[in-house]
Amino acid sequence: MSFNRLSYIDLGAGVMLLYVVLSHSIATAGYFEIAYYDLWGVTDAALIPKGVHALIGNNGKIHAAGINYYMPDLFFFVMQWFFYKSGQFFSKLTIADEWKKDWHKLMNQFILWSAIGYVLFIGFKLWDGTLTMRNATYDVIHDLVFKGRIELNTPLWFLFSLFVAKQVANMILPQRDDKYFWLKSGCVLFACFGIAFIAYYYQFSMFPVWVANSALGLAFFTLGYCLSDYELKWWLLLPCVLLYAACCIWGFPVVSFVDNKAVNKIVYLLNLPCGFAGIVTFNVFCRIISHYLHCISLPFEYVGKYAMIIYVSHAILYKSVRGVLIIEELTNLYPYALWIILGSYVCFLPLFCVLYERCSKYLWRID
């Protein structure tokens, strides 16, 4: 079968992005302690595709918890997919041109939304009376240097790590017509994964975590660069579908990308082949939906086209909602924090997309 259109990438980005923002909002809602008289309402609350249920934590307090606490995480490869997707469309440039392109597309966004996050962070610290010279300067600089993000907009780690991964990829990945293309690419793949695994295994306390997740990201970036054109070949697709099915049956090897952690070293090692299997299976599924049921995929494709701006701005909303509820001690609203966060998404994220698209032509070129 032939799939000529590339709208499946927007479809995939839309699905992954909705998964990310819903997961973050549910996790934030689950942060709040819930009074006993609210237990019934929380237990019965329903959300598609995830629900909210009461969960008694280790401290004996009641918290909200997503259904994914009880169910396997089908998209355990979500951030790996975004790195892989970037590798799909990568082509080598001069070092100066690559730097310039990625600076405009990634780092301008990083700087803008970090600045907004920092202002809000200072505002909330002033509001609740906890602002100090240390948390306003040293702590923020420490997070930037060692984690590649600031507290109030943690998802920005991805932009910084992707920027680093792309600069390194441009320098060390071979051209597609290189005589030793597969050998060199294989060496890059295993060297990068090895760096990330060593950082995880030895838990270097002074090792910047963005080095580890940039290296892990570059491993999946390399897979996208080398193998995305072969996803529909039976010799690649069939093993990937079978391996992903095995993960669905026996469990998913989840690696927390942002802090480079896993349950154990076997899980970490399995994340590379299993994550790749999940990515290929998901991509082919998106190709089929986009090709044969295009009308169904259109809403997700629309979200996918604005994936970057939604991703970098949504944390501002869910962290702000949590901050207001905590500072004002609005305990009666804690059980409904999820719905307040989702409501803020509906009200503000489309507005952010429209405003950014109109303003970007005056600020910088993003294409």
Residue-wise pLDDT for 41-77, tens only, equals 544 444 333 445 566 666 666 666 655 554 557 899 9
Rounded Cα distance between 189 and 176, Å, is 15
Long-range contact set of residues 174-180: C-beta below 8 Å, sequence gap at least 24: 175/92
pLDDT score recorded for residue 69: 54
pLDDT score recorded for residue 213: 93
**With 80 as the cut, is the pLDDT of residue 294 above it?**
yes
Pairing state between β 62-66 and 52-56: antiparallel
Specify which of 62-71, 161-170, 306-315 reaches the highest per-range mean pLDDT: 161-170
pLDDT score recorded for residue 367: 42
Q: How many residues does the chain have?
A: 367
Domain ranges (residues) in the chain: 7-363
pLDDT score recorded for residue 3: 58
* pTM of model > 0.75: yes
Contact 69, 55 (CB under 8 A): yes
The single residue listed with the structure tokens 């923020």 is: 140
Q: Mean of the pLDDT values across residues 236-242?
A: 97
pLDDT score recorded for residue 292: 87
Question: 32: pLDDT confidence band, cut at 50, 70 and 90?
Answer: confident
Question: 83: pLDDT confidence band, cut at 50, 70 and 90?
Answer: very high
Contact 75, 17 (CB under 8 A): no
Contact 276, 240 (CB under 8 A): yes
**With 90 as the cut, is the pLDDT of residue 356 above it?**
no
Say which residue, 102 or 291, is predicted with more confidence: 102
Long-range contact set of residues 138-145: C-beta below 8 Å, sequence gap at least 24: 144/114, 145/208
Number of Cβ within a 10 Å radius of residue 52: 24
Q: Mean of the pLDDT values across residues 7-24?
A: 90
